[in-house]
Amino acid sequence: MHEIGALVRDGLVAQGMESRSRGGRPSRVVELSDTVQFLAIDVGTVSISAGTTNAYLEVLETVEEPTDLKAGPASVMAQIEECARRLTGDARGPLRVAGVGIGIPSPVSVELGEPVDPALMPGWDRFPIRDQLSERLGVPVSVDKDANLMVLGEGHRGAAQGIEDCLFVKLGSGISCGIVVGGSLYRGHSGAAGDIGHVPAGNSDVPCHCGRRGCVEAQVGAAALGARALAAARSGESPFLAERLASTGTLVGMDLALANAAGDPAAARIIRETGALIGEALSALVNFFNPERIVLGGPSAAFGPPLLTEVHSAILKRSSSLSTAGLVVMSSTLGKTSGLIGAARLASDTFLTSLSRSH
């Protein structure tokens, strides 16, 4: 996509020098100019985050906006373009960035750059996100599943850095997973790897949006947690949540974190039960994959130590002693930024690959 001669001419790339270590995958010895920027976009079910980074994937500027992913591609794609142009200051024409990386909460055909069977993105199935956005923005765009980008980000300079075999578990509207094998992102044969939301755990009667019952996502996804918070408020079990419901008119899963921080016992119990269910779901994967480390990220990871402890405890109870002996379970260290840094890393890897191909 990039012709290296043109990049050298434009001052974006200097040839033949030792590259400054940037954790990327330098396909040839190039020095990315400090003027090279990447644009990272993290699309969630209810918000869009975007940020620019320099060549070393340090975040320069960010924007965040509420969105409604369920509204479908037409309005959301326009909103993504608008965020991108606002951030880069390019009101029209091609963006002056070397590439765009974008994460979405869906399985992605990386080859085609589009979501496949996206349970949380109705109306988006097989929508050509990469190609349409690349045409609108005039630069190369790469698309991947959000959990994959989060583990790329954590691997770049977070909780997965230097870890050979790692699972990153994203706890949000959906429950999904990014997998690192031998230090590299593992996407599976068709890019579908890490789809763990429908592992059975807990109550086998709970119906899931996938049509089956007992899936972990149906019990600890954001919607299920919101419903549990609401039930605890309405039953009078949690005075804290009842008061919050009365004052705000609604409750979401993250209100459990506030309630727990305020010492609410009902919220503490729900968080512990959530951890136990997640650990139960992960235990079969620990036996199968025997990771060195499990990193919990996404919004519900904000439940913190009690969640972490129950996840780990449930795994220790159910997985083999050999697979758990050296296992570390910890929270994301980059928090909300992991998806942005991972998206920038994807854009940067794509850029470096295109350099090596063009030369």
Which of 73, 292, 309, 313 forms a contact with a second copy (CB under 8 A)?
Answer: 292
Inter-residue contact 280 to 169 (CB < 8 Å): no
> What is the DSSP code (8-state) at residue 19?
P
Rg (CA), the chain: 21
| Nearest to a second copy of 94, 288 (CB atom) | 288
Residue range at the interface with a second copy (CB under 8 A); choices 77-85, 133-141, 186-194, 245-253: 186-194
Note whether 122 and 70 are within 8 A (CB).
yes
206 belongs to the binding site for a second copy (CB under 8 A): no
Closest CA to 39 of 343, 352, 315, 308: 343
Q: Which pair of tokens denotes residue 149? A: 């980008």
Place of tokens 């149906």: 218
Which parts of 86-125 interact with a second copy (CB under 8 A)? Answer: 107, 109, 116-117
Under a CB-based contact definition with an 8 Å cutoff, are residues 38 and 101 in contact?
yes
Pair 351, 99: CB distance under 8 Å: yes
- Identify whether the C-beta of residue 258 lies closer than 8 Å to the C-beta of residue 244: yes
CA distances from 200 to 140, 210, 214, 227 (A): 39, 12, 5, 20
**Torsion sign over Cα 214, 271, 240, 66:** negative
Binding residues among 152-181 for a second copy as defined by CB under 8 A? 164-165, 177, 179, 181
Shortest approach of a second copy to residue 200 CB, angstroms?
Answer: 6
d(CA 24, CA 158): 14
Size of residue set near a second copy by CB under 8 A: 42
| Residues between 210 and 249 that touch a second copy (CB under 8 A) | 212
Binding string, residues 295-334; x marks residues near a second copy by CB under 8 A: -----------------------x-xxxx-xxx-------
Q: Which is nearer to a second copy, 192 or 227 (CB)?
A: 192
- Cα dihedral: 296, 275, 42, 23 (round 10): 0
Q: Least distance to a second copy from the beta carbon of 181, Å?
A: 5
Query: From CA 12, how far away is CA 149, in angstroms rounded?
Result: 25
Distance CA 101, CA 110 (A): 12
- Out of 7, 39, 143, 193, the residue judged to bind a second copy by CB under 8 A: 193
> What region, left, alpha or beta, does residue 150 occupy, with left being phi > 0 and alpha being psi -120 to 50 degrees?
alpha
Q: Report in angstroms how near the CB of residue 149 gets to a second copy at its nearest.
A: 17
Regarding 182 and contact with a second copy (CB under 8 A), the answer is: yes
Q: Rounded to the nearest whole angstrom, what is the least distance from the CB of residue 65 to a second copy in the complex?
A: 29
- Using the rule CB under 8 A, is 285 a contact of a second copy? yes
Q: What is the closest distance, in whole angstroms, from the C-beta atom of residue 126 to a second copy in the complex? A: 11
CB nearer to a second copy: pick between 165 and 237: 165
Report the alpha-carbon angle 263-269-270, nearest 5.
110
Piece of 30-38, 54-62, 197-205, 351-359 that binds a second copy (CB under 8 A): 197-205
Q: Least distance in Å: CB of 255 to a second copy?
A: 30
Span near a second copy by CB under 8 A; candidates 6-14, 15-23, 185-193, 233-241: 185-193
CB of 326 to a second copy, least distance (A): 6
**Residues contributing to the site for a second copy (CB under 8 A):** 107, 109, 116-117, 164-165, 177, 179, 181-182, 186-196, 198-200, 204, 212, 284-285, 287-292, 318, 320-323, 325-327
